Amino acid sequence: MLPDGQEGELVFTSLTKEAFPIVRYRTRDLTRLLPPTARAFRRMGKIVGRSDDMLIIRGVNVFPTQIEELVLQHGKLSPLYQIVVTRDGPMDKVEVLCELQTAHADQPAGGVQEIAGWLQHRVKSLVGISTTVSVLPPHSVERTQTGKARRVIDKRPKG
């Protein structure tokens, strides 16, 4: 339990049922309780984010690990990838940036397009969202100081 106004995860708990086990449901939504008023029930602020890495893209719950599993299924792609989410008008757009393994860096343009098409089709059929896929040369995906790729870049406007 956090003080009023402090951001935290929304958890539903049943405390009033007798002979009923205490069940807690973690929504993974981040919000805050607003200060009490004369109303009978507490008010909750707007949901501002999530405590996990799930993205909601055009109504579909997408976990970055789902994309990662598909990238790892192709033998010519390195495990480093990025998911870039933008908003074009009312619709969210997703671009998956992945890179070739060093051993397959000499792929012809047609081969690279074939790999991109394969991944795009797999994401659409298994995850359920349309994406654009860019297959880049080795070491093209932006990395942090620790050498790991930043997996999700969400460029959608807040609010």
For residue 46 the two structure tokens come to: 């707007």
Residue with token string 């397009």 = 113
SS3 content of the chain, % helix, strand, coil (to 5): 20, 35, 45
pTM over 0.85: no
| DSSP of 58-83 | TTEEE-HHHHHHHHHHSTTEEEEEEE
In angstroms, the Cα distances linking 56 to 45, 127, 131 are 19, 12, 14
For residue 95 the two structure tokens come to: 């671009």
For residue 45 the two structure tokens come to: 């602020």
Is residue 127 a contact partner of residue 67, using CB atoms and an 8 Å limit? Answer: yes
- Residue 115: which of 65, 3, 63, 123 has the closest Cα? 123
For residue 84 the two structure tokens come to: 């870039």
**What is the dotted CATH code of the domain comprising 55-154?**
3.30.300.30
Domain boundaries, the chain: 8-50, 55-154
**pLDDT string in tens for the chain (159-residue length):** 777 778 888 888 877 777 777 788 888 888 888 888 887 788 888 887 777 778 888 888 898 889 999 999 998 999 889 999 998 888 899 999 999 988 888 888 888 899 999 999 999 999 999 999 999 998 888 877 665 567 888 888 875
Phi (first) and psi of residue 153, to 5 degrees: -120, 105
